[in-house]
Structure 1
């Protein structure tokens, strides 16, 4: 990949997330990347997508597109069951990958992805865009420096609403095709932001339920997490909540930092409340949100991925860093479905939850798992 030319990019999967988030992010980087092709197994959907986005070439299979186009960068936007095969094929062809969340359905699948990476690239970066907004990065710097004191208590809330009709799409709400419920598919963004701000976790205790939606997976989960720094966090993930919000609050010894949003945040969504004893004006000014306002977005993350490609360095939230949020989610499922507290150091490859998030537990495991490999 020579820096004197633009990178060639392709999109696999032409659903809403591809058109609403990935295409605009790529267009905004038009001086560095050219969008040359798209892939979808549905001919009609692909044809409509090409017309709306003005992408020149369309393909029915990932393999055909990779052979014909030899892209430098591939955005994977398929349903979760099709992620790992598409990512591995792209990496093996020499293309870097920006992988829509959730990255895959299990730690075993994630390890297949990292096994296909090579030193100096290509690498696969997971779309965890909320950690890349300027407000989140500023909060992370303040917490890491000790400016806000020692972390004590955190609340991580993803309470969204998805009606019964949402799950009429055949792949939603099914272990084989979606991989999990709101813990994996919706709350994953706030969970990743929580980890970006508080660091390594050590143990999880959780419960989950199938309370109202006709799904195989959970439709709500709650958990408590202990972090290596001693902080304790409470987590709620739901698709049953008419008053929708994505919320993260961290209480530290000298301040509370909080962000409230839904699908993305700006600087104005962040709030800092000093402890009553904190009266240093100069210090309070340092807490002010940055003058540059970078919204959390696919574009903010794509910029960093392209920078890494130019330098042939590992991009953010790939490899070990990209795996950490899926480790926490796996532990949450394991705790909820076994009724036990799960320590991070006990997530091993010989554990059934390493291979599937339902862990083959009675009452949760599907009777007949099917998968779709035709991407």
Structure 2
């Protein structure tokens, strides 16, 4: 960190696309914790417009120039996916913590390079997985960790969204070399990251992926069957061809079923808790301290600043992010190879450590976009 670990923290944003507004809005809601002091975009007019909208004192068109000029504690990286890894590497090498929009990187190899830089320069690389920080998600994680729900048995994780053909007119969407993958990497990753944070390390994945109808190089649907180290079994479905959009998670423990259905962010009201016979007291405990907050960027960013101040490890750490990215890589590897993939199997020179498609997509790319 470039300044003492006490608020307000000096923060910058690189990239001013749609998601950057969520970051900037969250920061304006945390005035005692942070000050947005700089913004970067390669488009000068867009940078100026964003700076004006969010009262940012200094705008830049070059990240290196900004990193040289500003004393910073945290840099938010809100650029297209293919740039996440290289920019995060640049930020960390300057000794500043990086908060990266998902996915952290486009490959396991790129993520491991970030881990090495993190260790060398002592600046953490964090990933935006805001659903971990919703009140009910935190409560479920605590209930699962302290054992009061009993053993996890079965889970389902569905991200069933709809994106029409026009959505993919944006050049970086639906391209392996730019976005890294389809709904497995760009949409469902938030839901199955939350699932992984509840159920712990996964052991093996068996999956299918297909391009059903969208004009993409990537899949538009994937389905995975997963076994966890604790013996739990789960199904994970990711789609952008589903007209009734929903995000669903269901966990069946020995002593209760816990479910959530929402779309892009949940509140306590989106959750249902059903105790098994003889465990009705768990429902009473679940209902304590209700929250109307939506799982959001603000909640994760506030937790990061709290960790900075308390000297604890902020989330979501690169270790946790790697487990999630490895799950995505295993889904693709299983689907394209037609075999079960075990945790830790994708290492060394395996093609799926270099890219999510592993160089073996079974369908012909729709477009080739020069980058």
Matched, 1:28 2:37: no
Cα gap change, 1:360 to 1:35, in 2 (>3 Å): same
- Does the Cα contact within 8 Å between 1:267 and 1:289 map onto a contact in 2? no
TM-score, normalised by the number of residues in structure 2: 0.94
Q: 2:302 is matched with which residue?
A: 303
State how far apart, in whole Å, the 1-side matches of 2:270 and 2:96 are: 36
Q: 1:185 is matched with which residue?
A: 186
State how far apart, in whole Å, the 2-side matches of 1:298 and 1:138 are: 18
Q: 1:242 is matched with which residue?
A: 243
State how far apart, in whole Å, the 2-side matches of 1:149 and 1:313 are: 29
- Select between 221-230 and 284-293 the one with higher mean Cα deviation: 284-293
State how far apart, in whole Å, the 2-side matches of 1:282 and 1:353 are: 46
Spell out the pairing of 1:214-233 with structure 2 (5 A cutoff).
214-233=215-234
TM superposition shift of 1:323: 1.0
State how far apart, in whole Å, the 2-side matches of 1:163 and 1:212 are: 10
- Select between 159-168 and 105-114 the one with higher mean Cα deviation: 105-114
TM superposition shift of 1:47: 2.3
Cα gap change, 1:364 to 1:288, in 2 (>3 Å): same
State how far apart, in whole Å, the 1-side matches of 2:353 and 2:30 are: 37
Q: 1:122 is matched with which residue?
A: 123
- Does the Cα contact within 8 Å between 1:176 and 1:369 map onto a contact in 2? no
Count of aligned pairs between the two proteins: 369
Q: 1:257 is matched with which residue?
A: 258
Cα gap change, 1:301 to 1:246, in 2 (>3 Å): same
SS for the counterpart of 1:334 is helix
- Does the Cα contact within 8 Å between 2:267 and 2:291 map onto a contact in 1? no
TM-score, normalised by the number of residues in structure 1: 0.93
TM superposition shift of 1:32: 2.2
State how far apart, in whole Å, the 1-side matches of 2:363 and 2:42 are: 30
TM superposition shift of 1:266: 1.0
TM superposition shift of 1:30: 1.4
TM superposition shift of 1:33: 1.4
**Cα RMSD after superposing both structures:** 2.0
Q: 1:140 is matched with which residue?
A: 141
State how far apart, in whole Å, the 2-side matches of 1:350 and 1:368 are: 27
| Structure 1 runs not aligned, ≥5 long | none
Q: 2:197 is matched with which residue?
A: 196
Matched, 1:78 2:68: no
| Structure 2 runs not aligned, ≥5 long | none
Q: Deviations over 1:32-89 (max 9, x none)?
A: 2110111111223222212222212111111111111232210000000111111111
Q: 1:359 is matched with which residue?
A: 358
- Does the Cα contact within 8 Å between 1:177 and 1:371 map onto a contact in 2? no
TM superposition shift of 1:145: 2.1
Spell out the pairing of 1:1-375 with structure 2 (5 A cutoff).
1-3=3-5, 6-19=8-21, 21-118=22-119, 121-275=122-276, 277-278=277-278, 280-288=279-287, 290-364=289-363, 372=371
- Select between 361-370 and 102-111 the one with higher mean Cα deviation: 361-370
